[in-house]
Amino acid sequence: MANPLLTVSVHLEPASMDRLASLCGPFDDNLKQIERRLGVEINYRDNHFQILGRAIIAKAVADLLRDLYVETAPVKGKIQDLDPQVVHLAIQELKVLEAEGNLDESKEIYVKTKRGVIKPRTPNQGQYIQNILNHDICFGVGPAGTGKTYLAVACAVDALERQEIRRILLTRPAVEAGEKLGFLPGDLSQKVDPYLRPLYDALFEMLGFEKVERLIERNVIEVAPLAYMRGRTLNDAFVILDESQNTTVEQMKMFLTRIGFNSKAVITGDITQVDLPRNTRSGLRHAIEVLRDVEEVSFNFFQSGDVVRHPVVSKIINAYESFEQEQERQKAARKLERDQQAQESNP
């Protein structure tokens, strides 16, 4: 049975916009760090916060926010800024991750392909595979390197080889992440091919290059940008939507309503890596809120501990996060200094 999702509400008192700004950090960086490290989603309005995640962790994050809010209390009339390092240490002190990691170790879960048996490397990955097998629609949300896409492709290949489905369809939005598609050489399919390359790589590893090519020629495997899904009904298919954080709300709804009879869909994404234009809401975040109470839909929130790439990858990710947080802290400090100077020059 999947770990149930729970929404925990927190009211932080006394309400203070300055203290709340310190808690959230510049551009909500403190909240994003908590989301990324603990696999939850945090939404707030004024001093009312809602935490969505697995029950034991959501409750722990609620307590964490209360404790951090206490740290912002004014000293000699000055609001205390929450340094990213303080947030990091507070997260490290939580013991819920170790406690939850022992919940599902009694039952071995694996996926079998012709290239070998693929086993989950963390309890959360095992729960993810179990959710894919037991639910019509499964969301895998978390940072890069946690196996979200790879394990989904493995489950799709396994289902195809056991003839549970007739085809595999892999898709992702072709969002321009700082580079313009129009300047790439080739026709449309060649322009979007680099966006779909990670999906091809997983298929080649599990089935072999030649077999994948044959299955693509027979349309048993289809790899296409999300825009090609509009107007279709997908029956007897295993459908994977990768990089779903870059879908709009309308695109996500369009994709989810394509699912036909005897079909299964897996949606993967990282809510902290959105490349959509500013002020455009991510369809992944919206879907998490809208679908969390639908029984046929499961959610897995991966954490930094689920990263299974080379160990140095985790260190690189943490180094970049620390650098960006320090840059934002310095930027906020400079802005505050300029504002104070402006007030002093215009009494």
Q: Measuring CA to CA, which residue among 69, 75, 88 is closest to residue 17?
A: 69
Question: Residues of the chain with pLDDT > 70: what percent?
Answer: 82
Q: Do 341 and 251 reside in the same domain of the chain?
A: no
In a domain, 298, yes or no: yes
As a whole number of angstroms, the distance between CA 231 and CA 169 comes to: 15
Q: Which domain holds residue 147?
A: 111-306
- Reported as a single tens digit per residue, the pLDDT across 143-202 is 888 889 889 999 999 888 888 888 999 888 875 444 444 444 555 455 556 667 777 888
Higher pLDDT, 190 or 111: 111
* β partners of residue 50: 9, 43
Please determine, for residue 135, whether its predicted confidence score (pLDDT) is greater than 50: yes
Other Cβ atoms within 10 Å of 105 Cβ, number: 9
The whole-number average pLDDT for the span 251-264 is: 89
| 146 and 240 within one domain | yes
Which DSSP helix (H) or strand (E) runs through 337? helix 311-345
Number of domain units in the chain: 2
Tell me: do 139 and 201 sit in the same domain: yes
What global pTM score does this model have? 0.61
Residue 106 domain flag: no
Residue 178 lies in a domain: yes
Neighbours of 184 (CB within 10 A): 12
**Inside any domain, residue 126:** yes
Identify the CATH number of the domain in which residue 333 sits. 3.30.1370.10
Contacts 24+ apart (CB under 8 A), 283-287: 283/244, 283/247, 283/248, 283/249, 283/250, 283/251, 283/252, 283/253, 284/139, 284/141, 284/244, 284/245, 284/247, 284/252, 285/41, 285/245, 286/249, 286/252, 287/139, 287/244, 287/252, 287/256
pLDDT tens digits along 209-234: 888 889 989 989 988 888 888 888 78
Same domain, 153 and 167: yes
